[in-house]
Amino acid sequence: MNHMAIETAILEKIKQYQTIIIHRHQRPDPDCIGAQLALRAILRASFPEKTAVAVGKHYPGFDWMGQADQEVSDDTYHQALVIVVDTANQPRVDDERWQTGAAVIKIDHHPNDDAFGDLQWVLPQASSTSEIIYDWFEANHADLTMPDDAARLLYAGIVGDTGRFMYPATSANTFAVAGKLLAYDFSMTAVNQAEDEISPEMARLSAYAYQNLEILPSGAAYLKLTDEIVESFGLAANDSTSAIVPLPGKITSVVAWAIFVESKDKTFRVRLRSKGPSINELAKRHGGGGHALASGAAAEDQAEIDQVIHELDQLVADTKGENE
């Protein structure tokens, strides 16, 4: 593959197709939406004769970023190039029709455990997929146009996945890219505020999280959110609770934490975060995976919740022991 730089190979592939369909992961975040909708905007501006569309379930909470195209027919896929952004593994792709495209490109920054796609550009060291999309634009800038709104979207994606430049995947390149994006015409403060703000209901759930987080002597911490708890704060059971996830990290004595959120089928989604010890192997043991310091998993019942807490406690205690 190295006879042609991957950035160039992706552009050449795009040039071969009249229709490009861009997919992202389920339960989206600002990075996957930013990368997806920015890529759509770049392709529309650069190749007005082509059809570039984005697909995925509609989440009104992200309307400030933009919306996917809702009316993409099954037939559209047969001659189309599919680009999947920010999605580590195949089951997580939103809209399974992605497999019916004529060719598939994967662009991502999660560890490439599920290497799908005819072309793959995966940089686990990158802060975000939005940063990678900017690097792709820059490598091919003679052929590509960046609209102001695409710059806004990429900036929003980088802010989302770096926790506004706080997380360790933030590099010199991340800041350089953010700086270049700010040269475009959009409001940085509006983006930062949109990502930082929470509803009054979520504010009260946050207070509950701080009040009820169990912090073990090791520095492992955990919180269980049942539908009943979430609904008691005036939130719907299916509302995103992602705003709660980073909060334990603000506490000095917390090293790594798990948040258990009840799913429709009464099992629990497990959201794992860490300030140091690598937690993705623990996640893999419980049907999940992800980054070293941010992963997801699943727990069938209270017994498995207890098991995850036990493993996290051990992991943090062992890491502490090694460092002392």
Contact status, residue 213 vs residue 221, Cβ threshold 8 Å? yes
- Which of 196, 215, 249 terminates a domain? The answer is 196
Closest among 133, 150, 137, 164 to 65, alpha carbons compared: 150
Please report whether residue 1 resides in a domain.
no
pLDDT reading at 2 higher than 80: no
Total length of the chain: 324
- Of the two residues 248 and 1, the one the predictor is more confident about is 248
DSSP conformation letters of 47-61: -TTSEEEE-----GG
The neighbour count for residue 119, using CB atoms within 10 Å, is 17
Note the pLDDT of residue 16. Answer: 98
Instruction: State how beta strands 51-54 and 289-290 pair.
Output: unpaired
Note the pLDDT of residue 1. Answer: 47
What is the arithmetic mean of pLDDT over 282-306?
Answer: 94
pLDDT reading at 6 higher than 50: yes
The neighbour count for residue 113, using CB atoms within 10 Å, is 12
**Are residue 223 and residue 294 in the same domain, yes or no?**
yes
Contact status, residue 19 vs residue 51, Cβ threshold 8 Å? yes
**Are residue 154 and residue 208 in the same domain, yes or no?**
no
What is the arithmetic mean of pLDDT over 54-81?
Answer: 95
**Are residue 118 and residue 228 in the same domain, yes or no?**
no
What is the arithmetic mean of pLDDT over 120-129?
Answer: 96
Closest among 34, 39, 8, 6 to 21, alpha carbons compared: 39
**Are residue 297 and residue 148 in the same domain, yes or no?**
no
Give dist(CA 241, CA 261) in Å, integer.
8
- Could you read off the pLDDT of 215-246 as tens digits, one per residue? 999 999 999 999 999 999 999 877 788 899 99
Note the pLDDT of residue 291. Answer: 86
Give dist(CA 17, CA 15) in Å, integer.
6
Place of tokens 């379930």: 57
Contact status, residue 134 vs residue 180, Cβ threshold 8 Å? yes
What is the arithmetic mean of pLDDT over 114-135?
Answer: 96
Note the pLDDT of residue 4. Answer: 73
For residue 184, give the DSSP letter. Answer: S
Note the pLDDT of residue 242. Answer: 87
What is the CATH number for 289?
3.10.310.30
Q: Give, in order, the Cα–Cα distances in Å from 108 to each of 23, 111, 115, 133, 322.
A: 12, 8, 11, 9, 33
**Are residue 208 and residue 165 in the same domain, yes or no?**
no
DSSP conformation letters of 119-144: EEEE-TTSS-HHHHHHHHHHHTTTT-
Q: CA neighbours within 13 Å on the CB side: how many for 121?
A: 24
Contact status, residue 149 vs residue 66, Cβ threshold 8 Å? yes
Give dist(CA 55, CA 37) in Å, integer.
10
**Are residue 308 and residue 182 in the same domain, yes or no?**
no
- Which of 176, 196, 216 terminates a domain? The answer is 196
| Domain, as residue range, for 52 | 6-196
pLDDT band at residue 324 under the 50/70/90 scheme: low
Note the pLDDT of residue 142. Answer: 97
**Are residue 210 and residue 166 in the same domain, yes or no?**
no
- Could you read off the pLDDT of 152-185 as tens digits, one per residue? 999 999 999 999 999 889 999 999 999 999 999 9
Q: Which residues pair with 221 in a beta bridge?
A: 215, 257
Note the pLDDT of residue 299. Answer: 97
Q: How many domains does the chain divide into?
A: 2
Give dist(CA 20, CA 185) in Å, integer.
26
Tokens standing for 298? 């699943």
What average pLDDT does the chain have?
Answer: 95
Task: Give the pTM.
Answer: 0.89
- Could you read off the pLDDT of 34-58 as tens digits, one per residue? 999 999 999 999 999 999 999 999 9
